[in-house]
Amino acid sequence: MLRLDGVSKTYRAGAFGGRHLTAVRDVSIELRPGEMVSLIGESGSGKTTIGRMVLRLTSVSGGAITFDGDDISTLEGRRLKEYRRCVQGVFQDPFSSYNPVFKADRVFSMLRTNFFPGVPDAEWRHRVEDALISVRLHPDAVLNRYPHQLSGGQLQRLLIARALLLDIKVLVADEIISMLDASTRIDVLNLLGDLKDRGLAILFITHDLALGNYISDQTVILRRGQIVESGVTERVFTNPLHPYTRQLLTSVPQLHRNWSDIDTALAVAPGRCAYHTQGGPTDGRQLAEAEPDHLVACLATGGNTSCPDG
Amino acid sequence: MSLTVTGLKVYYRTLRGDVKALDDVTFSLADGEIMGLAGESGCGKTTLGKSLIRLDGRMRHAGGSVELNGVELPIGEDARMTEFRYGDVSLIPQYGMSALNPTRKIGRMIRELLESRGIRYATIRPELEHRLALVGLDDGVLDRYPMELSGGMKQRAVMVISTLLNPSLLIADEITSALDVSTQRAVAEALVGFRDHGFVDSMIVITHDVSLVYQIADTIMVMYAGKLAEKAPAEVLVSSPRHPYTQQLISALPEVGVRYQGKRLSGIPGSPPTLLDPPAGCRFRDRCPLAFDRCVEEPPFVETEAGHFVACWKVG
Amino acid sequence: MNTVLRNKKLVGGLVVVVVFLVAGLVGPWFTGPDPLAYVGPPAQAPSGAYPFGTTTFGQDVFGQFVHGLRATFFVGFFAGLLAAVIGMLVGFISGYRGGIVDEILNMITNIVLVLPVLAVLLIIAAYLEVRNIQIQALIIGLFSWPWVARAVRAQTMTLRSRDFVDLARLSGAPVRRIVFREIAPNMASYLFMVFILLFGGAVLFAATLDFIGLGPTDGISLGLMLNNAVRWSALNLGMWWWFVPPGLGITAIVGALYIMNVGLDEVFNPKLRET
């Protein structure tokens, strides 16, 4: 449904824009209905930039993002509005997502003025209440309040409800629970799972491997703007092939397992570069299929080391 | 017994009255103990950390005492605390990385800091280099400006600076939350190294991330709404928590390997009470599945097994 | 509202400004339509009939003063408004759009900022034989917006990176609405203060122009009164009633506006409030 084909993003930097910074390089991802893809990376990995490009908040420098076959960078006016009707996002910081001067439910009325000018008041109120109930919020508790009177979890759910008012097919969720408390974040995460079960495609952007692992069907590991490993979540997590994925897995603090236990569990590295042993470079692509639905980049990618098999 | 806190109360003054951020907190910390202090935002964990070293302008010491190595800390009196700060009690603040003065080289900053305490920089320089090396920094960082270092390097530099005078108590407040996973581990392990090398006697590591303190702490203490909920050895607290809040909190954490399809986790419904005028009795009772009549009385924080303290009527 | 009324600086400044404004609005009804008419005996010290005395030519100083206040408020308000509108528009567009638009607007701003205004005004004065206060307000307005544009641009740039702006874009809101309904309300207090400062600046600038003889060629203003007083040696003749009222009036209005601004700053920015 939504495809990223070799998408890149470069920024001009330095005085006079002489230098170029590559934030995202040759990234291909496919989002299918009812499927959640988690995009995992550390700061500077380009994960947020990818989300913004999908939402068309940032332009694409190379490659193409297509939605049902249409290149989204060519959409303008009415057709861009139609795209926004189908693809929406929720961002990391719930407090920065609301204009502090206005009440929180303004995010709904803004949608109404731009997308549903013809809907009568009663009908609209009904739709808003439905959306709120589906994200398990009590309408009386959240409507007509200022953002600072609501909790982070409530604010994030309001934003999800906002997206549901449209006829969305794709939701980009950029770190939406990283600023929430442990006792509420899992509920927001489960909510995403329910939306997925209802047929939405979700791009879940996170730095937290445990969350990505918990909720997503497909996992994409990003490093410095490039995909180093991607595939079905279980395969990536049970059989991490790229040293960077392994490094992330050994660094993430886990419950019930000490870092030293994890070190020993992941001590035996696969050794050979799956990319080269699978004959990856022959068609010029960045990733090679190490096993079905499990792609990996060359071990040398981005690092200073050269590939042992290259 | 290195640190003993008895009945400590610290309130925030606001226009609408006192916010009871820390209400009757009693615990102790053994020599060499690394204690993780966990809880959600607003539970009072940062207030507890701050009140052991410096109350800010809005905070008021409303009762209780703090004793460090047999000496009572005058925590309510800013001026008298000065002699204990840095040397006896030291703090790595939440945004320690950005606390570095951007116009000073790291080395010069350390020199000024030491001289303000009447210590000559030259005498301590070899030890400083030794400790920088321990956290994986070379002495070149001393000639650099904070801007030239990455977040993880800055955080490690701040850690070395904060512990240079071998304080007996170090408070580390959310020092890894702004870092990437891979640097997070290095910084957390460096903390343990400081204790093992004897640079600090004992440590309180404040964090919202239970799984992080599980990796490095000997004991974990959980706070809820300004009160202590549970304290136990790290392994015990994670594998067999006794307080209903701790139990629910831990079961709400997804681990690598737990999947939404297989085992659906759930959060804790409701939200903590306001601390402006908190209800009497157990503050968790509105959200607690086990709540019963007696919970309107305040449960004491009692030792149910050796080293395992719980504040719940259903336990012990 | 309580914090507004409790702020002594704000209320005090406002009272002074309002008193002068009322004097300027109501006064001319009592003094006759032409402040330049020769109505009485020359060079009279203040008395019951002529509360501020008369000039060397027998013009009523009080009549000139209240008419002058009117002109001063007119110039201050319209020049301030014009500068605020231009400055905000340029600032909003250049801060929100960025890129090449920003660079061009920034260049224009900088050019206007470094123009030697007095020299330009001398040239304009040489071409325009009849000048009135409307033209003066226009000229002052056209030259005093650059710092507003720069400040608004910087604020817009910070605000536009906030998530709520992205969310408004995702909601399909047009740029105009994002700028005026999302970004501008966050700067409302600041924009109001900018206007007050521009107001005071324009009053002062108009007085300066009048005083050095580049003011209106017809009508009267506080600055022109000072100019006349100096031209006809009021100081040497000891006619203090001729120059003290306009001088004091300008100082009081500009000073009061400035103090109001400090007060507003305290109201909007609680960190500055004394405890």
| Nearest chain B CA: its distance from A261 CA (Å) | 11
Q: For residue A309, what pLDDT band results from cuts at 50, 70 and 90?
A: low
**pLDDT of B267 over the 80 cut:** yes
* A256–B238 CB contact, under 8 Å: yes
Give the one of A81, A97, A101 whose C-beta lies nearest to C163's C-beta. Answer: A97
Residue B296 pLDDT > 50: yes
Three-state secondary-structure class, residue C153: helix
Is residue B79 pLDDT above 60, yes or no? yes
- Contact yes or no for A262/B255 (Cβ under 8 A): no
Distance from CA of C158 to the nearest CA of A (A): 12
The answer to whether residue A307 scores a pLDDT higher than 70 is no
Contact C167 A84 (CB under 8 A): no
- Tens of pLDDT, residue by residue over A212-256, are 888 899 999 999 889 999 999 989 988 888 888 888 888 888 887
A100–C166 C-beta distance less than 8 A: no
Cβ <8 Å between A107 and C163: no
The answer to whether residue A115 neighbours chain C at the CB level (below 8 Å) is yes
What residues have CB less than 8 Å from C252, skipping those under 6 apart? C16, C20
Query: Number of Cβ pairs closer than 8 Å across A and B?
Result: 107
Domain ranges of chain B: 3-256+263-310
A240 CB neighbours in chain B (<8 A) are none
- Mean pLDDT calculated for residue range C197-224: 83
Q: What is the structure's pLDDT at B170? A: 94
Report the relative pairing of strands A218-223 and A36-40 from DSSP bridges: parallel
- Residue A200, pLDDT > 90, answer yes
Q: Which chain C residue has its CA at the smallest distance from A113's CA?
A: C173
d(CA A137, CA A134): 8
Distance between CA atoms of residues B191 and B199, nearest Å = 10
pLDDT at A268: 63
With CB atoms and an 8 Å threshold, state whether A182 touches B180: no
What is the structure's pLDDT at C275?
42
Max Cα distance, chain A (Å): 67
Q: What is the pLDDT of residues A44-59, one digit of tens each?
A: 889 999 999 999 999 9
CA distance A189 to chain B (A): 9
Which pTM does this prediction carry?
0.84
The reply to whether residue C173 touches residue A114, judged by beta carbons under 8 angstroms, is yes
pLDDT in tens, A2-45: 999 999 999 877 666 567 888 998 899 999 999 999 999 988 88
Q: Name residues 260-299 of chain A within 8 A of C (Cβ).
A: none
Q: What is the spatial order of strands in the sheet that B71-72 belongs to? A: B17-29, B3-14, B59-68, B71-72
Separation between Cα atoms, residue A158 and residue A140, nearest integer Å: 13
Average pLDDT over residues B16-39: 91
Higher pLDDT, C102 or C57: C102
Q: Do the chains contact at A89 and C169, CB–CB below 8 Å?
A: no
B135 versus B231: the higher-pLDDT residue is B231
Question: Between chains, do B188 and A253 touch, taking CB under 8 Å as contact?
Answer: yes
Q: Which of residues A64 and C24 earns the better pLDDT score?
A: A64
Cβ–Cβ gap A213/B264 under 8 Å: no
Instruction: Check A210 against B210: CB less than 8 A apart.
Output: no
> Which residue ranges form the domains of chain A, and what is each CATH number?
2-297 (3.40.50.300)
Q: Are A166 and A111 in contact (CB under 8 A)?
A: yes
**pLDDT number for residue C271:** 60
Q: Per-residue pLDDT for C24 more than 70?
A: yes
Band (pLDDT 50/70/90 cuts) for residue B10 is very high
Summarize the confidence of residues B274-293 as an average pLDDT.
89
Establish if A111 touches chain C: CB-CB under 8 angstroms: yes
Three-state SS letters, chain A:
CEEEEEEEEEEEECHHHCEEEEEEEEEEEEECCCCEEEEECCCCCCHHHHHHHHCCCCCCCEEEEEECCEEHHHCCHHHHHHHHHHEEEECCCCCCCCCCCCCCCHHHHHHHHHHCCCCCHHHHHHHHHHHHHHCCCCHHHHCCCCHHHCCHHHHHHHHHHHHHHCCCCEEEEECCCCCCCHHHHHHHHHHHHHHHHCCCEEEEEECCHHHHHHHCCEEEEEECCEEEEEEEHHHHHHCCCCHHHHHHHHHCCCCCCCHHHHHHHCCCCCCCCHHHHCCHHHHCCCEEEEECCEEEECCCCCCCCCCCCC
| CA distance linking residue C39 with residue B158, whole number of Å | 81
Confidence category of residue B262, pLDDT binned at 50, 70, 90: confident
Rounded average pLDDT over B281-289: 91
Chain B CB contacts of A253 below 8 Å:
184-185, 188, 209, 211-212, 214-215
Q: What is the pLDDT of residue C52?
A: 77
- If we measure between CA atoms, which residue out of B101, B90, B80, B36 comes closest to residue B235? B36
Lowest mean pLDDT among B298-302, C26-30, C99-103: C26-30
Residue B113 φ then ψ, to 5°: -65, -45
Q: What percentage of chain C has pLDDT greater than the value 90?
A: 20
pLDDT of residue A238: 87
Give the pair of three-digit tokens for residue C208.
């300066």
Please give the torsion angle defined by the CA atoms of residues A180, A182, A184 and A186, in that order, rounded to the nearest 10 degrees.
Answer: 110
pLDDT value of residue B206: 94
The C-alpha atoms of residue B130 and residue B150 are separated, in whole angstroms, by 20
For residues B53-63, b (16+ Cβ closer than 10 Å) or e, as one string? bbbeeebebbe
Choose the mutation target among A43, A151, A157, A181 for the interface with B, i.e. most B CBs under 10 Å: A181
> For A101-115, A265-279, C82-96, which range has the lowest pLDDT when averaged over its residues?
A265-279
Q: What does the alpha-carbon distance between residue A289 and residue A280 come to, in Å, rounded to a whole number?
A: 8
Report strand pairing: A170-174 vs A201-206.
parallel
Determine the residue among A99, A112, A113, A146 to mutate to test chain C binding: the one whose Cβ has the most chain C Cβ atoms within 10 Å. A99
How many CB atoms are closer than 10 A to CB C218? 10
| pLDDT, tens only, B154-211 | 888 899 999 998 999 999 998 888 788 888 888 899 999 999 999 999 999 999 889 9
* Tens-place pLDDT, residues C32-65: 777 777 777 777 777 777 777 777 777 888 888 8
Give the residue among B105, A299, A54 at the shortest CA–CA distance from A63. Answer: A54
Q: How far apart are CA B2 and CA B32, in angstroms?
A: 8
Using a CB-CB cut-off of 8 Å, the residues of chain A touching C167 are 91, 97, 107, 159
What confidence tens digit (pLDDT) does each residue in A26-37 have? 899 999 999 999
Residue C272 confidence (pLDDT): 59
CA distances from A115 to A89, A173, A284, C217, C235 (A): 16, 21, 44, 57, 71
Closest residue of chain A to B265, computed from CA coordinates:
A186
Q: How far apart are CA C21 and CA C113, in angstroms?
A: 31
Find the mean pLDDT for residues A186-214: 90
Please indicate whether, in this complex, the C-beta atoms of C170 and A92 are within 8 angstroms of each other. no
pLDDT of residue A284: 56
Does residue B106 surpass a pLDDT of 60? yes
CB-nearest partner of A91 from C166, C171, C185:
C166
Q: Which CATH class, in words, describes the domain spanning B3-256+263-310?
A: alpha beta
> Residue C171: is its pLDDT beyond 70?
yes
Mean pLDDT for chain C overall: 84
Instruction: Report the interhelical angle of C146-160 vs C188-211 (nearest 10°).
Output: 170
| Mean of pLDDT values over C210-222 | 79
CB contact under 8 A, B249 and A182: yes
Chain A contact probe: residue of B150, B209, B215, B264 with most A CBs at under 10 A: B215
Q: Where does the pLDDT of residue C2 fall: very low under 50, low under 70, confident under 90, or very high at 90 and above?
A: low
Q: Which residues pair with B9 in a beta bridge?
A: B63
Burial class for C30, CB neighbours closer than 10 Å (0-12, 13-18, 19+)? exposed
- pLDDT over 70, % of chain B: 99
Q: What would the mean pLDDT of A173-189 be, rounded to a whole number?
A: 85
Mean pLDDT (whole number) for C149-172: 91
Q: Is the pLDDT of residue C131 over 80?
A: no
Question: In a mutagenesis test of the A interface, which of C100, C161, C164, C268 is the best target, namely the one with the most A β-carbons within 10 Å?
Answer: C164
Over residues B132-157, the pLDDT tens digits come to 998 888 888 999 998 888 888 888 88
Chain-chain contact of C167 with A159 (C-beta, under 8 angstroms)? yes
